[in-house]
A and B are shown apart, each in its own frame.
Chain A
Amino acid sequence: GNSVTQMEGPVTLSEEAFLTINCTYTATGYPSLFWYVQYPGEGLQLLLKATKADDKGSNKGFEATYRKETTSFHLEKGSVQVSDSAVYFCALAGSSYKLIFGSGTRLLVRP
Protein backbone atom coordinates (compact mmCIF):
# COMPACT_ATOMS: atom_id res chain seq x y z
CA GLY A 1 0.00 0.00 0.00
CA ASN A 2 0.88 3.67 -0.13
CA SER A 3 3.14 5.04 2.56
CA VAL A 4 5.22 8.07 3.49
CA THR A 5 8.44 8.08 5.46
CA GLN A 6 9.84 11.22 7.06
CA MET A 7 13.05 11.86 8.90
CA GLU A 8 12.81 11.67 12.64
CA GLY A 9 12.79 14.89 14.60
CA PRO A 10 13.15 17.09 16.35
CA VAL A 11 15.30 19.22 14.10
CA THR A 12 16.91 22.13 15.92
CA LEU A 13 18.45 24.97 13.93
CA SER A 14 19.68 28.47 14.50
CA GLU A 15 17.93 31.33 12.74
CA GLU A 16 19.04 31.79 9.12
CA ALA A 17 20.31 28.21 8.85
CA PHE A 18 19.50 25.98 5.87
CA LEU A 19 16.71 23.46 6.36
CA THR A 20 16.17 20.06 4.78
CA ILE A 21 13.49 17.64 5.91
CA ASN A 22 13.62 14.37 4.02
CA CYS A 23 10.51 12.64 2.75
CA THR A 24 10.25 9.50 0.66
CA TYR A 25 7.16 7.70 -0.47
CA THR A 26 5.87 4.40 -1.77
CA ALA A 27 2.87 4.50 -4.06
CA THR A 28 1.23 2.92 -7.05
CA GLY A 29 0.38 5.14 -9.95
CA TYR A 30 1.01 8.86 -9.88
CA PRO A 31 0.17 10.40 -6.51
CA SER A 32 0.04 14.06 -5.63
CA LEU A 33 2.50 15.11 -2.94
CA PHE A 34 2.04 17.69 -0.19
CA TRP A 35 3.78 19.34 2.70
CA TYR A 36 1.57 20.50 5.56
CA VAL A 37 2.60 22.59 8.55
CA GLN A 38 1.04 22.52 12.00
CA TYR A 39 1.75 25.36 14.38
CA PRO A 40 1.30 24.74 18.12
CA GLY A 41 -2.34 24.25 19.05
CA GLU A 42 -3.58 24.62 15.50
CA GLY A 43 -4.79 22.44 12.65
CA LEU A 44 -2.85 21.68 9.49
CA GLN A 45 -2.15 24.21 6.81
CA LEU A 46 -1.09 23.33 3.30
CA LEU A 47 2.43 24.62 2.76
CA LEU A 48 3.05 23.46 -0.80
CA LYS A 49 2.15 20.75 -3.25
CA ALA A 50 3.23 19.04 -6.47
CA THR A 51 1.00 16.99 -8.69
CA LYS A 52 3.41 15.37 -11.17
CA ALA A 53 7.02 14.35 -11.58
CA ASP A 54 9.58 17.18 -11.66
CA ASP A 55 7.05 19.72 -10.39
CA LYS A 56 8.45 22.09 -7.79
CA GLY A 57 6.12 23.34 -5.11
CA SER A 58 7.08 26.55 -3.32
CA ASN A 59 5.63 28.87 -0.70
CA LYS A 60 6.97 31.25 1.95
CA GLY A 61 10.56 30.44 0.99
CA PHE A 62 10.02 26.68 1.26
CA GLU A 63 10.52 24.43 -1.76
CA ALA A 64 10.12 20.75 -2.60
CA THR A 65 10.60 18.93 -5.90
CA TYR A 66 8.65 15.82 -6.88
CA ARG A 67 11.37 13.29 -7.76
CA LYS A 68 9.85 10.17 -9.22
CA GLU A 69 13.20 8.47 -9.84
CA THR A 70 14.09 8.63 -6.15
CA THR A 71 10.46 8.66 -4.88
CA SER A 72 11.28 11.70 -2.79
CA PHE A 73 9.78 15.09 -1.94
CA HIS A 74 12.32 16.72 0.38
CA LEU A 75 11.41 20.06 1.96
CA GLU A 76 14.03 22.83 1.88
CA LYS A 77 14.37 26.42 2.98
CA GLY A 78 17.46 28.52 2.57
CA SER A 79 17.13 30.62 5.72
CA VAL A 80 14.77 29.60 8.52
CA GLN A 81 13.16 31.98 10.98
CA VAL A 82 11.99 31.49 14.54
CA SER A 83 8.43 31.72 13.24
CA ASP A 84 9.02 28.58 11.15
CA SER A 85 9.06 26.49 14.32
CA ALA A 86 6.28 23.96 13.85
CA VAL A 87 5.61 20.35 12.92
CA TYR A 88 5.90 19.54 9.23
CA PHE A 89 4.02 16.65 7.62
CA CYS A 90 4.73 15.11 4.25
CA ALA A 91 1.71 13.50 2.64
CA LEU A 92 0.54 11.87 -0.54
CA ALA A 93 -2.84 11.41 -2.15
CA GLY A 94 -3.60 8.73 -4.68
CA SER A 95 -6.65 8.05 -6.76
CA SER A 96 -8.82 7.45 -3.69
CA TYR A 97 -8.18 11.08 -2.54
CA LYS A 98 -7.23 9.85 0.90
CA LEU A 99 -4.22 11.58 2.38
CA ILE A 100 -1.48 9.36 3.72
CA PHE A 101 0.67 11.25 6.19
CA GLY A 102 4.22 10.79 7.32
CA SER A 103 4.92 10.77 11.04
CA GLY A 104 5.75 14.47 11.14
CA THR A 105 9.00 16.29 11.86
CA ARG A 106 9.19 18.90 14.59
CA LEU A 107 11.33 21.91 13.73
CA LEU A 108 12.65 24.21 16.43
CA VAL A 109 14.42 27.38 15.30
CA ARG A 110 16.40 29.24 17.94
CA PRO A 111 17.18 32.97 17.76
Chain B
Amino acid sequence: GAVVSQHPSRVICKSGTSVKIECRSLDFQATTMFWYRQFPKKSLMLMATSNEGSKATYEQGVEKDKFLINHASLTLSTLTVTSAHPEDSSFYICSARDLGTYSYNEQFFGPGTRLTVL
Protein backbone atom coordinates (compact mmCIF):
# COMPACT_ATOMS: atom_id res chain seq x y z
CA GLY B 1 0.00 0.00 0.00
CA ALA B 2 0.90 3.67 -0.13
CA VAL B 3 3.37 4.59 2.58
CA VAL B 4 4.16 8.05 3.89
CA SER B 5 7.05 8.67 6.24
CA GLN B 6 7.92 11.63 8.43
CA HIS B 7 11.21 12.63 9.94
CA PRO B 8 11.91 13.20 12.70
CA SER B 9 9.29 11.42 14.78
CA ARG B 10 10.09 13.57 17.81
CA VAL B 11 12.02 16.78 18.20
CA ILE B 12 12.73 19.03 21.15
CA CYS B 13 14.10 22.48 20.50
CA LYS B 14 14.76 25.73 22.30
CA SER B 15 12.52 28.73 21.89
CA GLY B 16 13.61 30.92 18.97
CA THR B 17 15.15 28.17 16.88
CA SER B 18 13.78 26.73 13.64
CA VAL B 19 12.79 23.13 13.06
CA LYS B 20 12.36 21.30 9.76
CA ILE B 21 10.02 18.33 9.36
CA GLU B 22 10.17 16.12 6.28
CA CYS B 23 7.30 14.23 4.70
CA ARG B 24 8.03 11.62 2.06
CA SER B 25 5.84 9.38 -0.05
CA LEU B 26 7.87 6.18 -0.26
CA ASP B 27 6.23 4.16 -2.99
CA PHE B 28 4.09 6.57 -4.94
CA GLN B 29 4.13 10.04 -6.44
CA ALA B 30 2.21 12.75 -4.66
CA THR B 31 1.36 15.95 -6.49
CA THR B 32 -0.40 17.21 -3.39
CA MET B 33 0.60 16.91 0.24
CA PHE B 34 -1.23 18.29 3.24
CA TRP B 35 0.06 19.47 6.60
CA TYR B 36 -2.08 19.15 9.72
CA ARG B 37 -1.67 20.14 13.30
CA GLN B 38 -3.21 18.13 16.11
CA PHE B 39 -3.60 19.44 19.62
CA PRO B 40 -3.82 16.99 22.55
CA LYS B 41 -7.08 15.06 22.48
CA LYS B 42 -8.34 17.22 19.63
CA SER B 43 -9.02 16.75 15.97
CA LEU B 44 -6.71 17.53 13.10
CA MET B 45 -6.56 21.07 11.81
CA LEU B 46 -5.50 21.53 8.21
CA MET B 47 -2.68 24.06 8.03
CA ALA B 48 -1.82 24.11 4.36
CA THR B 49 -1.97 22.32 1.05
CA SER B 50 1.35 21.78 -0.66
CA ASN B 51 1.55 21.34 -4.41
CA GLU B 52 4.70 20.16 -6.13
CA GLY B 53 6.52 22.98 -7.84
CA SER B 54 4.27 25.77 -6.62
CA LYS B 55 3.57 27.80 -3.52
CA ALA B 56 1.60 26.25 -0.70
CA THR B 57 -1.96 27.33 0.00
CA TYR B 58 -2.44 28.18 3.65
CA GLU B 59 -5.66 27.94 5.62
CA GLN B 60 -7.08 31.02 7.23
CA GLY B 61 -5.28 31.96 10.41
CA VAL B 62 -2.07 30.05 9.63
CA GLU B 63 1.01 32.28 9.43
CA LYS B 64 2.84 31.74 6.16
CA ASP B 65 6.09 33.24 7.42
CA LYS B 66 6.09 31.07 10.50
CA PHE B 67 5.24 27.76 8.87
CA LEU B 68 7.30 27.55 5.69
CA ILE B 69 6.33 24.77 3.33
CA ASN B 70 8.36 23.54 0.41
CA HIS B 71 7.28 20.79 -2.00
CA ALA B 72 10.36 20.36 -4.13
CA SER B 73 9.60 16.99 -5.67
CA LEU B 74 6.77 14.52 -6.16
CA THR B 75 7.91 12.58 -3.12
CA LEU B 76 9.05 15.21 -0.62
CA SER B 77 7.46 18.11 1.22
CA THR B 78 9.01 19.95 4.16
CA LEU B 79 7.50 22.06 6.91
CA THR B 80 9.81 24.48 8.70
CA VAL B 81 8.61 26.02 11.93
CA THR B 82 10.57 29.25 12.18
CA SER B 83 11.42 30.98 15.44
CA ALA B 84 9.54 28.34 17.36
CA HIS B 85 7.81 29.18 20.62
CA PRO B 86 6.26 26.93 23.28
CA GLU B 87 2.78 27.49 21.82
CA ASP B 88 3.99 25.84 18.61
CA SER B 89 4.43 22.58 20.52
CA SER B 90 2.09 20.10 18.88
CA PHE B 91 1.76 16.95 16.84
CA TYR B 92 2.29 17.70 13.15
CA ILE B 93 0.99 15.22 10.61
CA CYS B 94 1.38 15.19 6.85
CA SER B 95 -0.62 13.35 4.25
CA ALA B 96 -0.28 12.77 0.55
CA ARG B 97 -2.61 12.12 -2.34
CA ASP B 98 -1.73 9.26 -4.62
CA LEU B 99 -2.06 10.09 -8.30
CA GLY B 100 -3.36 6.59 -8.83
CA THR B 101 -6.34 7.09 -6.52
CA TYR B 102 -7.15 10.59 -7.71
CA SER B 103 -10.83 9.92 -8.12
CA TYR B 104 -11.33 8.78 -4.53
CA ASN B 105 -9.96 11.85 -2.76
CA GLU B 106 -7.95 9.48 -0.62
CA GLN B 107 -5.05 10.72 1.46
CA PHE B 108 -2.34 8.63 3.07
CA PHE B 109 -1.01 9.84 6.39
CA GLY B 110 2.43 9.94 7.87
CA PRO B 111 3.03 8.78 11.46
CA GLY B 112 3.36 12.34 12.73
CA THR B 113 6.07 14.44 14.35
CA ARG B 114 5.85 15.49 17.98
CA LEU B 115 7.39 18.94 18.40
CA THR B 116 8.21 20.23 21.87
CA VAL B 117 9.51 23.77 22.20
CA LEU B 118 11.14 24.56 25.52
Which residues of chain A have a CB within 8 Å of any CB of chain B?
A: 32, 34, 36, 42-46, 49, 51, 89, 93-94, 97-99, 101-104, 106
Judging by beta carbons under 8 Å apart, are B107 and A99 in contact? yes
Which size class do B's interface residues fall under?
20 to 34
Judge whether A101 and B44 touch: CB under 8 Å: yes
Complex: A46 Cα to B107 Cα, angstroms: 8
Structural contact, A42 and B43, CB atoms closer than 8 A: no
Contact B108 A46, beta carbon cutoff 8 Å:
yes
B93 is an interface residue with CB less than 8 A from chain A: yes
- Say yes or no: A98 contacts B49, CB within 8 Å: yes
* CB < 8 Å A-B pair total: 52
Binding site for A on B (CB under 8 A): 6, 32, 34, 41-44, 46, 49, 93, 95, 97, 104-112
- Give 15 new A-B contacts, CB below 8 A, not counting A42-B112, A46-B108, A97-B32: A32-B104, A32-B105, A42-B111, A43-B93, A43-B110, A44-B95, A44-B109, A93-B105, A97-B105, A97-B107, A98-B34, A99-B34, A101-B43, A104-B42, A106-B41
